[in-house]
Amino acid sequence: MTVPRGPVDSSRVPRFAGPATFARLPRLDEVGRTDIAVVGVPFDTGVSYRPGARFGPAAVREASRLLRPYHPGLDISPFSARQVADAGDIACNPYDIDQAVETIEEAADALTADGTALVAVGGDHTIALPLLRAAARRHGPLALLHFDAHLDTWDTYFGAEYTHGTPFRRAVEEGILDTEALGHVGTRGPLYGKSDLDDDKRLGFGVVTSADVMRRGIDETVDALRRRIGDRPLYVSVDIDVLDPAHAPGTGTPEAGGMTSRELLEILRGLAGCRLIGADVVEVAPAYDHAEITSIAASHVAYDLISLLASRE
């Protein structure tokens, strides 16, 4: 078995120096093949309020310099257990959403053709749809855990079918999600009307609000989510605005009353042993961030997702 090539040794090269890859990991072209690829998707043409998530991948990579190789919460050294590499960015058309979605899907197909699992860093939530398409092509209909302040199951916005508020409605319509195993986590805030919730329920989603997480606690929340997804192939999509603005100010559509970063990370760690096959972390908009709070949180979320993938049997 080939020994995985890990991050640059921080005892030799200080963390503020060295490569600007995620966690200072090797680039994909330096290792040839990888088990888990971190890929940036710098696209934010699908946003409905504050733009800037196109700069998210670079900001998350920069914040990830401080990540260390051993994860005590999951008792794993993910970069030693599996080859993990930075696959760079998927360059897509910033003016044409349809073309960008097609480009992202094609790139995800190419990156996963040999069985590589993807952790994508966005970019806005529009990118989840092409990533789900590529994942479902390999694994069949997917269970989905969607961490977000918002439902993202609206039909259209200003007549557009592909936006950051519509990816999961399109995914259900296309049959790439298992409607017996869909869940939103951390939702909150005002809606356009009660029909938003009715439509969402009709599509097959269960909802665990941020208030539910607060009242039930981590363990009960995790138990409920694990029962819902069962042993199905699981995709996890994390909009960083699932966190309260105190924990993630640098995002496009912040909502008060959100989860803490500790709650989010502990829920993710509670998914250990599930059949995770891919994930994304989206909506980091560094122009609205201060002291890199949001980027730091997103880098840790990505690290936990990598660790969960690395711990698969």
Structure tokens at 97: 């959403």
d(CA 197, CA 187): 11
d(CA 179, CA 297): 30
Cα 140 to Cα 89, 117, 234, distances in angstroms: 26, 15, 10
Q: Edge-to-edge, what's the strand order for the sheet holding 177-187? A: 84-89, 36-41, 117-122, 276-282, 234-239, 142-147, 177-187, 205-209
Furthest-apart CA atoms within the chain: distance in Å = 57
- Which residues make up each annotated binding site for Mn(2+)? 125, 148, 150, 152, 239, 241
Structure tokens at 74: 């999951």
Return all residues near 231 (Cβ < 8 A) that are at least 6 apart.
274, 275
Structure tokens at 152: 């993202």
d(CA 100, CA 127): 9
Return all residues near 45 (Cβ < 8 A) that are at least 6 apart.
94, 95, 97, 100, 124, 126
- Which residues make up each annotated binding site? 125, 148, 150, 152, 239, 241
| AA identity, residue 144 | L
